[in-house]
Chains A and B, each alone.
Chain A
Amino acid sequence: MATPTVPIAGALRLADYWTIVYKRTWKGGVITSFVTPFFYVVAMGVLLGGYVTADPDRLGGAPSYLAFIAPGMVAAQAMTIAFSETTYPVMGMVKWQRIYYSMIASPLSVGEIVLAQLGFIVLRVAFSCGVFLAVLAPFGVFGSVWGTVLALPVQMLIGLAFATPVFAFAAGLEDESAFALVFRLGMIPLTLFSGTFFPIDNLGPVLEVVARITPLWHGVDLTRMLVLGDVHWGRAAVHVAYLAVLAVVGWRLTVRRLSRRLVK
Protein backbone atom coordinates (compact mmCIF):
# COMPACT_ATOMS: atom_id res chain seq x y z
CA MET A 1 0.00 0.00 0.00
CA ALA A 2 1.35 3.39 -0.94
CA THR A 3 1.87 5.52 2.17
CA PRO A 4 2.28 9.25 1.61
CA THR A 5 5.55 10.52 3.06
CA VAL A 6 3.84 13.31 5.00
CA PRO A 7 0.52 11.88 6.16
CA ILE A 8 -0.61 14.99 8.02
CA ALA A 9 -3.73 15.73 5.95
CA GLY A 10 -4.99 12.20 6.48
CA ALA A 11 -4.16 12.27 10.18
CA LEU A 12 -6.19 15.45 10.57
CA ARG A 13 -9.23 13.56 9.27
CA LEU A 14 -8.94 11.50 12.44
CA ALA A 15 -8.97 14.57 14.68
CA ASP A 16 -12.73 14.37 15.18
CA TYR A 17 -12.50 10.72 16.18
CA TRP A 18 -9.86 11.45 18.83
CA THR A 19 -11.72 14.52 20.02
CA ILE A 20 -14.80 12.42 20.66
CA VAL A 21 -12.71 9.75 22.40
CA TYR A 22 -11.12 12.44 24.56
CA LYS A 23 -14.46 14.00 25.48
CA ARG A 24 -15.60 10.56 26.54
CA THR A 25 -12.53 9.70 28.60
CA TRP A 26 -11.06 12.92 29.99
CA LYS A 27 -12.86 12.70 33.33
CA GLY A 28 -11.39 9.28 34.06
CA GLY A 29 -8.08 10.59 32.77
CA VAL A 30 -8.05 13.34 35.36
CA ILE A 31 -8.09 10.75 38.12
CA THR A 32 -5.36 8.52 36.72
CA SER A 33 -3.15 11.21 35.26
CA PHE A 34 -3.42 13.89 37.88
CA VAL A 35 -4.97 12.90 41.21
CA THR A 36 -2.81 9.78 41.64
CA PRO A 37 0.55 11.50 41.03
CA PHE A 38 -0.59 14.38 43.19
CA PHE A 39 -1.09 11.93 46.06
CA TYR A 40 2.41 10.64 45.43
CA VAL A 41 3.86 14.12 45.61
CA VAL A 42 2.10 14.84 48.89
CA ALA A 43 2.98 11.47 50.43
CA MET A 44 6.53 11.02 49.16
CA GLY A 45 7.59 14.60 48.63
CA VAL A 46 5.93 16.52 51.43
CA LEU A 47 5.25 14.01 54.20
CA LEU A 48 8.04 11.46 53.71
CA GLY A 49 10.36 14.10 52.28
CA GLY A 50 10.02 16.04 55.55
CA TYR A 51 12.31 13.43 57.11
CA VAL A 52 14.87 13.68 54.31
CA THR A 53 17.64 16.16 54.79
CA ALA A 54 20.31 16.06 52.13
CA ASP A 55 22.97 18.26 50.73
CA PRO A 56 21.53 20.08 47.68
CA ASP A 57 24.65 19.03 45.77
CA ARG A 58 23.67 15.40 46.25
CA LEU A 59 20.16 16.24 44.92
CA GLY A 60 21.22 17.69 41.59
CA GLY A 61 21.01 21.21 43.01
CA ALA A 62 17.46 20.84 44.34
CA PRO A 63 16.91 22.90 47.53
CA SER A 64 14.68 20.23 49.08
CA TYR A 65 13.73 16.61 48.59
CA LEU A 66 10.31 17.74 47.34
CA ALA A 67 11.98 19.95 44.74
CA PHE A 68 14.11 16.95 43.75
CA ILE A 69 11.29 14.50 43.15
CA ALA A 70 8.72 16.95 41.69
CA PRO A 71 10.30 17.08 38.18
CA GLY A 72 10.97 13.33 38.37
CA MET A 73 7.30 12.70 39.10
CA VAL A 74 6.27 14.85 36.15
CA ALA A 75 8.56 12.95 33.77
CA ALA A 76 7.37 9.60 35.17
CA GLN A 77 3.83 10.83 34.62
CA ALA A 78 4.55 11.50 30.93
CA MET A 79 5.86 7.94 30.65
CA THR A 80 2.90 6.43 32.49
CA ILE A 81 0.40 8.05 30.13
CA ALA A 82 2.38 6.82 27.14
CA PHE A 83 2.30 3.25 28.49
CA SER A 84 -1.37 3.33 29.35
CA GLU A 85 -2.39 4.77 25.97
CA THR A 86 -0.38 2.32 23.87
CA THR A 87 -1.10 -0.99 25.59
CA TYR A 88 -4.74 -1.93 26.23
CA PRO A 89 -6.22 0.75 23.94
CA VAL A 90 -4.08 -0.49 21.02
CA MET A 91 -5.05 -4.09 21.70
CA GLY A 92 -8.69 -3.00 21.80
CA MET A 93 -8.45 -1.29 18.45
CA VAL A 94 -6.69 -4.27 16.85
CA LYS A 95 -8.63 -7.10 18.39
CA TRP A 96 -11.64 -6.31 20.54
CA GLN A 97 -13.42 -3.48 18.78
CA ARG A 98 -11.38 -3.80 15.58
CA ILE A 99 -11.55 -0.07 14.99
CA TYR A 100 -8.34 -0.06 12.98
CA TYR A 101 -10.06 -2.29 10.45
CA SER A 102 -12.82 0.24 9.97
CA MET A 103 -10.17 2.95 9.55
CA ILE A 104 -8.19 1.12 6.88
CA ALA A 105 -11.40 0.42 4.95
CA SER A 106 -11.48 4.17 4.32
CA PRO A 107 -8.83 5.95 2.25
CA LEU A 108 -6.66 6.35 5.38
CA SER A 109 -3.29 4.63 5.46
CA VAL A 110 -1.66 2.94 8.43
CA GLY A 111 0.93 5.75 8.59
CA GLU A 112 -1.86 8.32 8.94
CA ILE A 113 -3.64 6.26 11.58
CA VAL A 114 -0.45 5.94 13.64
CA LEU A 115 0.38 9.64 13.28
CA ALA A 116 -3.08 10.67 14.47
CA GLN A 117 -3.00 8.36 17.46
CA LEU A 118 0.49 9.51 18.49
CA GLY A 119 -0.67 13.09 18.10
CA PHE A 120 -3.55 12.37 20.45
CA ILE A 121 -1.23 10.73 22.99
CA VAL A 122 1.26 13.60 22.89
CA LEU A 123 -1.51 16.16 23.41
CA ARG A 124 -2.87 14.14 26.28
CA VAL A 125 0.61 14.06 27.85
CA ALA A 126 0.88 17.83 27.36
CA PHE A 127 -2.47 18.44 29.02
CA SER A 128 -1.85 16.17 32.00
CA CYS A 129 1.72 17.25 32.59
CA GLY A 130 0.77 20.89 32.07
CA VAL A 131 -1.84 20.64 34.82
CA PHE A 132 0.62 18.73 37.00
CA LEU A 133 3.30 21.41 36.59
CA ALA A 134 0.76 24.14 37.35
CA VAL A 135 -0.34 22.39 40.54
CA LEU A 136 3.25 21.86 41.68
CA ALA A 137 4.22 25.52 41.12
CA PRO A 138 2.65 26.83 44.39
CA PHE A 139 4.84 24.38 46.34
CA GLY A 140 7.77 26.58 45.33
CA VAL A 141 9.70 23.70 43.79
CA PHE A 142 10.60 25.34 40.47
CA GLY A 143 13.69 27.50 40.23
CA SER A 144 13.20 28.76 36.68
CA VAL A 145 9.98 29.94 35.04
CA TRP A 146 11.35 29.59 31.53
CA GLY A 147 12.81 26.23 32.32
CA THR A 148 9.45 25.06 33.64
CA VAL A 149 7.71 26.30 30.49
CA LEU A 150 10.31 24.49 28.36
CA ALA A 151 9.75 21.37 30.43
CA LEU A 152 6.31 20.97 28.87
CA PRO A 153 7.48 20.21 25.30
CA VAL A 154 10.11 17.98 26.90
CA GLN A 155 7.29 15.97 28.53
CA MET A 156 5.72 15.60 25.08
CA LEU A 157 9.01 14.25 23.78
CA ILE A 158 9.29 11.84 26.72
CA GLY A 159 5.72 10.70 26.08
CA LEU A 160 6.49 10.11 22.41
CA ALA A 161 9.74 8.29 23.16
CA PHE A 162 7.84 5.78 25.29
CA ALA A 163 4.64 5.69 23.25
CA THR A 164 6.20 4.61 19.96
CA PRO A 165 8.18 1.54 21.11
CA VAL A 166 5.33 0.31 23.33
CA PHE A 167 2.84 0.92 20.50
CA ALA A 168 5.07 -1.08 18.15
CA PHE A 169 5.25 -3.89 20.70
CA ALA A 170 1.49 -3.91 21.33
CA ALA A 171 0.61 -3.80 17.61
CA GLY A 172 2.07 -7.25 17.02
CA LEU A 173 0.78 -9.04 20.11
CA GLU A 174 -1.82 -11.78 19.85
CA ASP A 175 -3.30 -11.10 23.28
CA GLU A 176 -2.96 -8.76 26.23
CA SER A 177 -1.29 -11.13 28.70
CA ALA A 178 2.15 -9.55 28.15
CA PHE A 179 0.95 -6.13 29.29
CA ALA A 180 0.94 -7.08 32.97
CA LEU A 181 4.64 -7.88 32.64
CA VAL A 182 5.28 -4.68 30.72
CA PHE A 183 3.85 -2.70 33.61
CA ARG A 184 5.38 -4.72 36.45
CA LEU A 185 8.82 -5.38 34.98
CA GLY A 186 9.04 -2.34 32.73
CA MET A 187 7.17 0.72 33.83
CA ILE A 188 7.22 0.36 37.61
CA PRO A 189 10.99 -0.38 37.91
CA LEU A 190 11.65 2.52 35.55
CA THR A 191 9.58 4.81 37.77
CA LEU A 192 11.37 3.63 40.91
CA PHE A 193 14.99 3.39 39.76
CA SER A 194 15.51 6.02 37.06
CA GLY A 195 16.43 8.91 39.30
CA THR A 196 12.87 9.91 40.11
CA PHE A 197 13.03 9.38 43.88
CA PHE A 198 16.77 9.32 44.55
CA PRO A 199 19.99 10.19 42.71
CA ILE A 200 21.05 7.24 40.58
CA ASP A 201 24.58 7.20 42.00
CA ASN A 202 22.95 5.74 45.13
CA LEU A 203 22.50 2.57 43.06
CA GLY A 204 26.19 1.75 43.05
CA PRO A 205 28.55 1.91 40.06
CA VAL A 206 27.08 -1.00 38.05
CA LEU A 207 23.39 -0.28 38.44
CA GLU A 208 24.04 3.40 37.93
CA VAL A 209 25.24 2.62 34.41
CA VAL A 210 22.09 0.59 33.81
CA ALA A 211 19.96 3.47 35.06
CA ARG A 212 21.79 5.88 32.76
CA ILE A 213 20.78 3.78 29.76
CA THR A 214 17.08 3.87 30.61
CA PRO A 215 15.11 6.45 28.67
CA LEU A 216 13.28 7.65 31.75
CA TRP A 217 16.52 8.77 33.40
CA HIS A 218 17.24 10.96 30.36
CA GLY A 219 13.77 12.43 30.67
CA VAL A 220 13.99 12.91 34.43
CA ASP A 221 17.43 14.51 34.34
CA LEU A 222 16.45 16.83 31.50
CA THR A 223 13.24 17.89 33.23
CA ARG A 224 15.04 18.43 36.53
CA MET A 225 17.77 20.58 34.97
CA LEU A 226 15.16 22.72 33.27
CA VAL A 227 12.81 23.35 36.17
CA LEU A 228 15.68 23.96 38.63
CA GLY A 229 17.25 26.40 36.18
CA ASP A 230 20.59 24.60 36.22
CA VAL A 231 20.99 23.41 32.65
CA HIS A 232 24.14 21.68 31.36
CA TRP A 233 23.53 22.15 27.67
CA GLY A 234 25.75 19.33 26.44
CA ARG A 235 24.02 16.83 28.70
CA ALA A 236 20.63 18.26 27.74
CA ALA A 237 21.44 17.81 24.04
CA VAL A 238 22.35 14.16 24.65
CA HIS A 239 19.06 13.62 26.47
CA VAL A 240 17.01 15.19 23.68
CA ALA A 241 18.88 13.25 21.01
CA TYR A 242 18.44 9.95 22.89
CA LEU A 243 14.69 10.47 23.34
CA ALA A 244 14.24 11.67 19.75
CA VAL A 245 16.04 8.64 18.31
CA LEU A 246 13.91 6.32 20.44
CA ALA A 247 10.75 8.08 19.28
CA VAL A 248 11.69 7.88 15.60
CA VAL A 249 12.81 4.25 15.68
CA GLY A 250 9.69 3.26 17.62
CA TRP A 251 7.51 5.18 15.19
CA ARG A 252 8.88 3.40 12.15
CA LEU A 253 8.53 0.06 13.89
CA THR A 254 4.95 0.87 14.84
CA VAL A 255 3.92 1.62 11.25
CA ARG A 256 5.67 -1.53 10.05
CA ARG A 257 4.21 -3.84 12.66
CA LEU A 258 0.70 -2.41 12.48
CA SER A 259 0.75 -2.64 8.67
CA ARG A 260 1.79 -6.26 8.89
CA ARG A 261 -1.05 -6.88 11.32
CA LEU A 262 -3.81 -5.13 9.40
CA VAL A 263 -2.84 -5.45 5.75
CA LYS A 264 -2.26 -9.08 4.92
Chain B
Amino acid sequence: MISARGLRKSFGQRGKKGQGTEFEAVRGIDVDVQRGVAFGFLGPNGAGKSSTMRMICCVSPVSGGDLRIFGLDPATHGPEIRARIGVCPQEDTLDTELNVWENLYVYGRYFGLPRDVVKGRIDELLDFVQLTDKARAKVDDLSGGMKRRLTIARSLINKPEILILDEPTTGLDPQARHVIWDRLFRLKQQGVTLVLTTHYMDEAEQLADRLVVMDKGVIVAEGSPRELIERYSTREVAEIRFGVGQNEAAAPQVSDLADRVEVLPDRLLLYTEDGERALQEVLGRGLRPETTLVRRATLEDVFLRLTGRTLAD
Protein backbone atom coordinates (compact mmCIF):
# COMPACT_ATOMS: atom_id res chain seq x y z
CA MET B 1 0.00 0.00 0.00
CA ILE B 2 2.79 2.39 0.93
CA SER B 3 6.38 2.01 -0.14
CA ALA B 4 9.17 4.49 0.57
CA ARG B 5 12.81 4.18 -0.49
CA GLY B 6 15.39 6.63 0.73
CA LEU B 7 12.60 9.10 1.42
CA ARG B 8 13.80 12.58 2.36
CA LYS B 9 12.20 15.84 3.38
CA SER B 10 14.07 19.05 3.81
CA PHE B 11 12.85 22.56 4.44
CA GLY B 12 14.65 25.61 3.19
CA GLN B 13 15.02 28.18 5.92
CA ARG B 14 15.78 31.69 4.80
CA GLY B 15 18.41 33.28 6.99
CA LYS B 16 18.18 36.91 8.06
CA LYS B 17 20.76 38.07 5.56
CA GLY B 18 19.25 36.08 2.74
CA GLN B 19 21.50 33.05 2.87
CA GLY B 20 19.44 29.86 2.91
CA THR B 21 20.01 26.97 5.26
CA GLU B 22 18.48 23.53 4.84
CA PHE B 23 16.83 21.64 7.63
CA GLU B 24 16.42 17.92 6.98
CA ALA B 25 13.41 16.57 8.82
CA VAL B 26 13.46 13.13 7.17
CA ARG B 27 16.85 11.79 6.15
CA GLY B 28 16.37 8.76 3.95
CA ILE B 29 13.90 6.21 5.29
CA ASP B 30 12.66 2.92 3.86
CA VAL B 31 9.12 1.92 4.79
CA ASP B 32 6.73 -0.76 3.53
CA VAL B 33 3.17 -0.87 4.73
CA GLN B 34 1.15 -3.92 3.70
CA ARG B 35 -2.62 -3.95 3.23
CA GLY B 36 -4.64 -4.51 6.39
CA VAL B 37 -1.91 -3.94 8.95
CA ALA B 38 -1.75 -1.25 11.59
CA PHE B 39 1.57 0.45 11.15
CA GLY B 40 2.99 2.77 13.78
CA PHE B 41 5.57 5.53 13.56
CA LEU B 42 7.12 6.14 16.97
CA GLY B 43 9.55 8.81 17.92
CA PRO B 44 10.15 11.83 20.08
CA ASN B 45 9.07 15.29 18.98
CA GLY B 46 11.05 16.40 15.97
CA ALA B 47 11.86 12.86 14.85
CA GLY B 48 10.31 13.43 11.43
CA LYS B 49 7.07 11.50 11.95
CA SER B 50 4.70 14.29 11.00
CA SER B 51 6.78 15.28 7.97
CA THR B 52 6.61 11.66 6.81
CA MET B 53 2.85 11.62 7.36
CA ARG B 54 2.39 14.82 5.37
CA MET B 55 4.29 13.36 2.43
CA ILE B 56 2.15 10.21 2.57
CA CYS B 57 -0.96 12.42 2.64
CA CYS B 58 0.30 14.11 -0.57
CA VAL B 59 0.23 17.58 0.96
CA SER B 60 3.99 17.94 1.16
CA PRO B 61 6.29 17.43 -1.83
CA VAL B 62 8.94 14.72 -1.50
CA SER B 63 12.44 16.24 -1.34
CA GLY B 64 14.32 13.09 -2.26
CA GLY B 65 14.03 9.33 -2.68
CA ASP B 66 10.95 7.53 -3.86
CA LEU B 67 7.44 7.31 -2.44
CA ARG B 68 4.58 5.24 -3.80
CA ILE B 69 1.08 5.00 -2.39
CA PHE B 70 -1.17 2.40 -4.02
CA GLY B 71 1.75 2.20 -6.49
CA LEU B 72 1.12 5.83 -7.49
CA ASP B 73 3.47 8.79 -7.29
CA PRO B 74 2.16 11.61 -5.03
CA ALA B 75 3.78 14.21 -7.28
CA THR B 76 1.63 13.27 -10.25
CA HIS B 77 -1.38 11.52 -8.70
CA GLY B 78 -2.01 13.53 -5.54
CA PRO B 79 -5.78 13.94 -5.95
CA GLU B 80 -6.26 10.26 -6.89
CA ILE B 81 -4.31 9.13 -3.84
CA ARG B 82 -6.04 11.57 -1.51
CA ALA B 83 -9.41 10.29 -2.73
CA ARG B 84 -8.50 6.85 -1.34
CA ILE B 85 -7.01 7.81 2.02
CA GLY B 86 -8.52 9.23 5.19
CA VAL B 87 -6.63 11.74 7.29
CA CYS B 88 -7.08 12.39 10.98
CA PRO B 89 -4.70 15.28 11.64
CA GLN B 90 -2.93 16.01 14.90
CA GLU B 91 -4.71 19.34 15.35
CA ASP B 92 -8.42 19.35 14.76
CA THR B 93 -9.39 21.12 11.56
CA LEU B 94 -13.12 21.00 12.21
CA ASP B 95 -15.26 24.01 11.35
CA THR B 96 -16.29 25.05 14.85
CA GLU B 97 -19.15 27.18 13.62
CA LEU B 98 -20.79 24.33 11.76
CA ASN B 99 -22.61 21.57 13.58
CA VAL B 100 -21.48 17.94 13.70
CA TRP B 101 -23.64 16.81 10.81
CA GLU B 102 -22.63 19.74 8.61
CA ASN B 103 -18.94 19.11 9.21
CA LEU B 104 -19.33 15.56 7.91
CA TYR B 105 -21.57 16.62 5.05
CA VAL B 106 -19.33 19.30 3.57
CA TYR B 107 -16.32 17.04 3.93
CA GLY B 108 -18.02 14.24 2.03
CA ARG B 109 -18.84 16.73 -0.69
CA TYR B 110 -15.16 17.71 -0.99
CA PHE B 111 -14.62 14.18 -2.25
CA GLY B 112 -17.27 14.63 -4.89
CA LEU B 113 -19.54 12.02 -3.31
CA PRO B 114 -23.22 12.35 -4.29
CA ARG B 115 -25.35 14.08 -1.64
CA ASP B 116 -27.49 10.99 -0.94
CA VAL B 117 -24.43 8.82 -0.47
CA VAL B 118 -22.92 11.32 1.97
CA LYS B 119 -26.13 11.57 3.97
CA GLY B 120 -26.34 7.79 4.30
CA ARG B 121 -22.75 7.50 5.40
CA ILE B 122 -23.13 10.27 7.98
CA ASP B 123 -25.77 8.22 9.81
CA GLU B 124 -23.54 5.13 9.80
CA LEU B 125 -20.46 7.05 10.91
CA LEU B 126 -22.19 8.96 13.70
CA ASP B 127 -23.39 5.63 15.00
CA PHE B 128 -19.91 4.16 14.67
CA VAL B 129 -18.29 6.95 16.72
CA GLN B 130 -21.24 7.18 19.13
CA LEU B 131 -22.21 10.74 18.27
CA THR B 132 -25.69 10.13 16.84
CA ASP B 133 -27.40 12.21 19.51
CA LYS B 134 -24.91 15.05 18.92
CA ALA B 135 -25.63 15.36 15.19
CA ARG B 136 -27.03 18.89 15.51
CA ALA B 137 -24.63 20.05 18.22
CA LYS B 138 -22.16 22.82 17.51
CA VAL B 139 -18.59 21.55 17.34
CA ASP B 140 -17.57 24.19 19.89
CA ASP B 141 -19.77 22.49 22.47
CA LEU B 142 -18.15 19.06 22.09
CA SER B 143 -15.56 17.67 24.50
CA GLY B 144 -12.04 16.94 23.27
CA GLY B 145 -12.81 13.23 22.96
CA MET B 146 -15.98 13.90 20.99
CA LYS B 147 -14.13 16.23 18.61
CA ARG B 148 -11.52 13.56 18.04
CA ARG B 149 -14.22 10.97 17.32
CA LEU B 150 -15.86 13.40 14.93
CA THR B 151 -12.53 13.92 13.17
CA ILE B 152 -12.15 10.16 12.87
CA ALA B 153 -15.70 9.86 11.50
CA ARG B 154 -14.91 12.62 9.02
CA SER B 155 -11.75 10.87 7.86
CA LEU B 156 -13.85 7.77 7.09
CA ILE B 157 -16.44 9.53 4.91
CA ASN B 158 -14.76 8.40 1.67
CA LYS B 159 -14.40 4.78 2.87
CA PRO B 160 -10.60 5.07 2.76
CA GLU B 161 -8.32 2.13 2.13
CA ILE B 162 -5.67 3.73 4.32
CA LEU B 163 -6.49 5.72 7.43
CA ILE B 164 -3.72 8.03 8.58
CA LEU B 165 -3.81 9.13 12.21
CA ASP B 166 -1.34 11.67 13.54
CA GLU B 167 -1.24 11.41 17.35
CA PRO B 168 -4.85 10.20 17.54
CA THR B 169 -5.28 10.35 21.32
CA THR B 170 -2.96 13.15 22.39
CA GLY B 171 -4.62 15.30 25.01
CA LEU B 172 -7.51 12.95 25.73
CA ASP B 173 -8.47 11.42 29.07
CA PRO B 174 -8.08 7.65 29.58
CA GLN B 175 -11.77 6.86 28.97
CA ALA B 176 -11.78 8.77 25.70
CA ARG B 177 -8.55 7.08 24.62
CA HIS B 178 -9.99 3.64 25.18
CA VAL B 179 -13.10 4.44 23.15
CA ILE B 180 -10.90 5.56 20.27
CA TRP B 181 -8.66 2.51 20.49
CA ASP B 182 -11.74 0.32 20.41
CA ARG B 183 -13.05 2.05 17.27
CA LEU B 184 -9.68 1.90 15.54
CA PHE B 185 -9.39 -1.78 16.39
CA ARG B 186 -12.77 -2.40 14.76
CA LEU B 187 -11.65 -0.55 11.65
CA LYS B 188 -8.58 -2.73 11.49
CA GLN B 189 -10.78 -5.80 11.69
CA GLN B 190 -12.79 -4.44 8.78
CA GLY B 191 -9.58 -4.47 6.75
CA VAL B 192 -8.68 -0.78 6.84
CA THR B 193 -4.94 -0.19 6.79
CA LEU B 194 -4.02 2.06 9.69
CA VAL B 195 -0.95 4.26 9.72
CA LEU B 196 -0.47 6.12 12.97
CA THR B 197 2.09 8.23 14.71
CA THR B 198 2.23 8.33 18.44
CA HIS B 199 4.53 8.99 21.30
CA TYR B 200 2.39 6.92 23.62
CA MET B 201 3.97 3.51 23.93
CA ASP B 202 0.83 1.90 25.31
CA GLU B 203 -1.03 3.15 22.25
CA ALA B 204 1.56 1.60 19.95
CA GLU B 205 1.40 -1.71 21.84
CA GLN B 206 -2.39 -1.67 21.71
CA LEU B 207 -2.81 -0.83 18.06
CA ALA B 208 0.28 -1.44 15.96
CA ASP B 209 1.14 -4.76 14.31
CA ARG B 210 4.35 -3.33 13.01
CA LEU B 211 6.20 -0.22 13.90
CA VAL B 212 9.25 1.83 13.20
CA VAL B 213 11.03 3.95 15.74
CA MET B 214 12.26 7.22 14.25
CA ASP B 215 14.82 9.52 15.75
CA LYS B 216 16.37 12.63 14.17
CA GLY B 217 14.93 11.84 10.76
CA VAL B 218 16.04 8.23 10.45
CA ILE B 219 14.56 4.86 11.37
CA VAL B 220 16.45 3.36 14.30
CA ALA B 221 14.42 0.15 14.72
CA GLU B 222 11.65 -1.73 13.01
CA GLY B 223 9.49 -4.73 13.89
CA SER B 224 6.44 -5.85 15.83
CA PRO B 225 6.11 -4.53 19.39
CA ARG B 226 7.07 -7.96 20.76
CA GLU B 227 10.07 -8.31 18.46
CA LEU B 228 11.34 -4.91 19.46
CA ILE B 229 11.05 -5.70 23.15
CA GLU B 230 12.88 -8.99 22.62
CA ARG B 231 15.59 -7.38 20.56
CA TYR B 232 16.23 -4.21 22.55
CA SER B 233 15.18 -5.12 26.06
CA THR B 234 15.00 -8.04 28.43
CA ARG B 235 11.83 -9.83 29.43
CA GLU B 236 11.53 -8.10 32.78
CA VAL B 237 12.70 -5.00 34.56
CA ALA B 238 13.33 -4.67 38.29
CA GLU B 239 13.05 -1.09 39.48
CA ILE B 240 14.73 -0.35 42.78
CA ARG B 241 14.75 2.99 44.52
CA PHE B 242 17.26 4.05 47.09
CA GLY B 243 17.07 7.53 48.57
CA VAL B 244 17.83 10.52 46.41
CA GLY B 245 21.55 10.67 45.64
CA GLN B 246 22.20 7.09 46.72
CA ASN B 247 21.18 5.33 43.53
CA GLU B 248 24.41 6.04 41.73
CA ALA B 249 26.46 4.76 44.63
CA ALA B 250 24.49 1.51 44.77
CA ALA B 251 24.80 0.83 41.03
CA PRO B 252 28.24 -0.90 41.07
CA GLN B 253 27.03 -3.32 43.73
CA VAL B 254 24.22 -4.65 41.52
CA SER B 255 25.73 -4.29 38.08
CA ASP B 256 26.50 -8.02 37.79
CA LEU B 257 22.92 -9.04 38.66
CA ALA B 258 21.32 -7.95 35.39
CA ASP B 259 22.03 -7.88 31.65
CA ARG B 260 22.09 -4.11 31.88
CA VAL B 261 21.66 -1.59 34.66
CA GLU B 262 20.46 1.91 34.01
CA VAL B 263 20.97 4.62 36.60
CA LEU B 264 18.28 7.26 36.82
CA PRO B 265 18.24 10.11 39.33
CA ASP B 266 15.43 8.50 41.31
CA ARG B 267 15.95 4.76 40.75
CA LEU B 268 17.96 1.93 39.22
CA LEU B 269 16.56 -0.18 36.40
CA LEU B 270 17.81 -3.77 36.24
CA TYR B 271 17.10 -5.35 32.85
CA THR B 272 16.89 -9.08 33.34
CA GLU B 273 15.05 -12.23 32.29
CA ASP B 274 13.90 -12.88 35.88
CA GLY B 275 13.15 -9.75 37.85
CA GLU B 276 12.16 -11.47 41.08
CA ARG B 277 15.39 -13.42 41.28
CA ALA B 278 17.45 -10.28 40.62
CA LEU B 279 15.57 -8.54 43.39
CA GLN B 280 16.19 -11.39 45.86
CA GLU B 281 19.89 -11.23 45.08
CA VAL B 282 19.92 -7.48 45.65
CA LEU B 283 18.33 -8.01 49.08
CA GLY B 284 20.67 -10.97 49.70
CA ARG B 285 23.63 -8.59 49.41
CA GLY B 286 22.32 -6.60 52.34
CA LEU B 287 21.10 -3.67 50.22
CA ARG B 288 17.90 -2.09 51.53
CA PRO B 289 16.07 -0.11 48.80
CA GLU B 290 13.13 2.08 49.84
CA THR B 291 10.78 0.62 47.26
CA THR B 292 11.00 -2.06 44.60
CA LEU B 293 8.94 -3.07 41.59
CA VAL B 294 9.24 -5.95 39.16
CA ARG B 295 7.46 -5.56 35.84
CA ARG B 296 7.43 -6.82 32.26
CA ALA B 297 9.56 -4.83 29.86
CA THR B 298 7.48 -2.50 27.69
CA LEU B 299 7.91 -0.67 24.46
CA GLU B 300 8.72 2.37 26.53
CA ASP B 301 11.94 0.72 27.68
CA VAL B 302 12.82 0.05 24.06
CA PHE B 303 11.90 3.55 23.05
CA LEU B 304 13.94 5.25 25.74
CA ARG B 305 16.91 3.01 25.05
CA LEU B 306 16.82 3.84 21.35
CA THR B 307 16.04 7.54 21.50
CA GLY B 308 17.65 8.47 24.80
CA ARG B 309 16.31 10.12 27.87
CA THR B 310 17.30 13.69 27.16
CA LEU B 311 14.44 16.00 26.28
CA ALA B 312 13.84 16.32 22.55
CA ASP B 313 12.95 19.97 22.75
Residues of A within 8 A of B (CB): 1-2, 9-10, 13-17, 20, 24, 97-99, 101-109, 262-264
Contacts and interface: CB of A to CB of B under 8 A. Distances in A.
Contact of B82 (A9, A17, A97, A107): A107
Interface residues of B, number: 35
Interface of B: 11, 57-61, 75-80, 82-83, 87, 89, 91-98, 102, 105-107, 109-112, 115, 154, 158
Given A24-B97, A107-B80, 10 more contacts: A13-B110, A16-B106, A98-B93, A101-B59, A103-B110, A105-B57, A105-B59, A106-B111, A107-B83, A264-B11
A1 B110 contact: no
B98 A107 contact: no
Contacts of A13: 109-112
B76 A99 contact: no
B226 to A, nearest CB: 33
A97 B93 contact: yes
A149 to B, nearest CB: 33
A23 B79 CA distance: 29
Contacts of A9: 112
A97 B110 contact: no
A99 B109 CA distance: 14
Contacts of A1: 58, 61, 75, 78
A151 to B, nearest CB: 33
A20 B102 contact: yes
Contacts of B115: 16
25 contacts: A1-B58, A1-B78, A2-B78, A9-B112, A16-B106, A16-B109, A17-B106, A20-B98, A20-B102, A20-B106, A24-B97, A24-B98, A97-B93, A97-B95, A99-B93, A105-B59, A105-B82, A105-B89, A105-B93, A107-B80, A108-B79, A108-B110, A109-B79, A262-B59, A263-B61
